[in-house]
Amino acid sequence: MFEKGRNFRMNDLEDQRCREWLEVHKDHCGNTVDEKTGLTYEGSMGPKYPNIRYCFVPTGIGNAIVIECSCGRSVDITDLANY
């Protein structure tokens, strides 16, 4: 059974991979990234809904982490050294 308030975390390498992907991706996507929050917003319509999804997938040997944009692109940032 899941504990209440379960948290998922990224290690330093996964956080770095995430930030680097978001930085590169924003130049190829119709969405823009808010510098302060790290959230993305569609076009120039101003703040709407966050368009980046952080998917933490528990496995028997660790958590897989995939970052997905609403444009359909995604990246697996899992640090396999943690497995």
Q: Which two tokens stand for residue 61?
A: 């040997």
Dist CA 52 CA 43 (whole Å): 14
Domain boundaries, the chain: 12-82
At 51-79, the pLDDT tens digits run 788 999 988 888 899 999 877 889 999 99
Dist CA 68 CA 75 (whole Å): 7
Residue recorded with tokens 């590169």: 24
Mean pLDDT score across all residues of the chain: 78
The pTM score is 0.69
